[in-house]
Amino acid sequence: RIENKINRQVTFSKRRAGLLKKAHEIS
């Protein structure tokens, strides 16, 4: 389903943003 694909993209971008934020805090 198309909605599922969009939902997955949103989840992925959110997770990536969280990882980048964490990496920024560590360094």
Q: Report pLDDT for 18.
A: 94
Q: Report pLDDT for 4.
A: 94
Q: Report pLDDT for 8.
A: 96
Query: Residues for the chain: how many in total?
Result: 27
Q: Which H, E and C letters describe the chain, residue by residue? A: CHHHHHHHHHHHHHHHHHHHHHHHHHC
pTM over 0.85: no
How far CA 13 is from CA of 1, 19, 27, in Å, comes to 19, 10, 21
In angstroms, the CA 23 to CA 17 distance is 10
CA atoms within 13 A on the CB side of 22: 6
| Domain segments of the chain as ranges | 1-27
Q: Which pLDDT tens digit goes with each residue over 1-27? A: 889 999 999 999 999 999 999 998 887
Q: Report pLDDT for 1.
A: 85
Q: Report pLDDT for 27.
A: 78
